[in-house]
Amino acid sequence: MSRNLDNAFWSAARKHLIRYGGAFEPAIIERAEGSFVYDADSRRILDFTSGQMSALLGHGHPRIVATVRRQVETVAHLFSGMLSRPVVELAERLAALAPGLDRALLLSTGAESNEAAIRMAKLVTGKHEIVAFSKSWHGMTGVAAAATYSAGRKGYGPAAVGSIAIPTPNSFRPRFKKADGSLDWAAELDDAFALVDSQSTGSLAAFIAEPILSSGGMLELPPGYLAALKQKCRERSMLLILDEAQTGVGRTGDMFAFQRDGITPDILTLSKTIGAGLPLAAVMTTAEIEETAHERGFLFYTTHVSDPLPAAVGLTVLDVVEEEHLVERARHLGDKLFDGLSGLKQRYECIGDVRGRGLMLGVEIVKSGLGREPDHELGAKIAAEAFRRGLSMNIVKLPGMGGVFRIAPPLTISEQELDLGLRTISDAIEAVLSTGAGRVGMAAE
């Protein structure tokens, strides 16, 4: 009998854990190494989503392990008013990577960094309205949750006053179309801000956006969109906050995703990738904004602000990314993975779209027919079959999004491991379709 069927383990889990999302995976994970996690049967499972989109360098990277051991023996945590060398060094390194964003605040989680960014934007502008995308995910706390529209809004009472959403541009399902049927994002953005202006009470503080909306279905903002969005903000004296929790630190083939578009946000938030699986987040902004915030009494005093242990880990992450040329590697392997997934799209009619950048790609599962409607059921079955075959892929199960696989393997993954993942996806689709689980057949070759 499989050790994953440990009745005592699952009974204790059911009895004592608060469930915080969907169902747990049907395996007990005992350890992780490189691009794989290993269950109670010592079966290896290829991790195509880097843990919770965070293990940028894979699991148990020896440099990270060595840093944790060294730093925890030196100093791991301090009174929040004390500074250590890793904190100042990491702030300096980050500033060099994002010219113009010269000041940094080091925190623990993505939601926390977005809380701080929005709090700062409100204080600096003296206004309170926050605009976000309709498919956004910025966290599960306070104003971060108020700016999250992809899920979790019902049943919790009023969101923060001044929360406004605009439609998310979707090239696969465009709302505004050009004559050739492609997305007319400029017209959509104009329309969206006309709606913002009609709802605003004259207190627009900031727009917060993900360059690629991950939980929203791996929806990438088209080239040119961020520059136009920043201009819309400038016209209204709003700040632009970019949430690069998942896209930052090389994931998309640039150090930060916004760099492709030749703009710099007013405030940048980082998490997930900067800690490579450990709890580290950052808020970055201009010297001018930080000075104004400080003069007005900016307060974000938390237990783990400026902790030396995660800061030391962040420095090691940046070292490894630079020394192993992982930004360029993400671009190269991302092209290979995109081509492989696009080949599967040509073979299987149930793959409606492949999208994204670098090693952050989405694969949308759809029903057959002209409507190409999302197929939640088929996507879930493919995910389950892939997991059974030794591949973990995170699938967006939010209403209205359909089965969108979020594929974001570690930047250290090998080409052979990428090929293994592609074969497993293909085998899983074949197996599910052959059982008649879906109504989708093979596309014409």
CA distance 300 to 310: 18
Catalytic residue at 272?
yes
CA distance 52 to 356: 18
Catalytic residue at 10?
no
Catalytic residue at 243?
yes
How crowded is residue 339: how many other Cβ atoms within 10 Å of its Cβ? 11
State how far Cα 306 lies from the chain centre. Answer: 23
Check 47, 102, 129, 210 and give the catalytic one. Answer: 210
Return the amino acid letter for 71: Q
Contact residues for 171 (Cβ-Cβ < 8 A; gap 6+):
182, 183, 219, 220, 222, 355
Q: Which residue has the tokens 């993975």?
A: 337
Catalytic residue at 406?
yes
Check 103, 122, 230, 272 and give the catalytic one. Answer: 272
CA distance 229 to 331: 25
Helix (H) or strand (E) holding 164: strand 163-166
How crowded is residue 97: how many other Cβ atoms within 10 Å of its Cβ? 16
- Among 290, 357, 312, 300, which Cα is nearest to 330's? 357
Beta strands 239-243; 204-209: pairing state: parallel
Sign of the torsion angle spanned by Cα atoms 221, 224, 228, 234: positive
Q: Which residue has the tokens 């040329």?
A: 325
Is 65:76 a contact under the CB 8 Å cutoff?
A: no
- Tokens (6 digits) for 199: 């709802």
- Among 441, 444, 419, which Cα is nearest to 430's? 441
Looking at the DSSP bridge assignments, the partners of residue 69 are none
Check 112, 115, 220, 243 and give the catalytic one. Answer: 243
CA distance 362 to 216: 10
Helix (H) or strand (E) holding 15: helix 7-16
How crowded is residue 73: how many other Cβ atoms within 10 Å of its Cβ? 8
Helices in 163-256 by DSSP H: which ranges?
A: 185-199, 225-235
Catalytic residue at 339?
no
Q: In what order do the strands lie in the sheet with 36-39?
A: 29-33, 36-39, 44-47, 391-392
Catalytic residue at 137?
yes
Check 135, 137, 230, 364 and give the catalytic one. Answer: 137
- Tokens (6 digits) for 329: 């590697």
Check 236, 367, 381, 406 and give the catalytic one. Answer: 406
Check 112, 115, 232, 246 and give the catalytic one. Answer: 246
- Residues annotated as catalytic are 137, 210, 243, 246, 272, 406
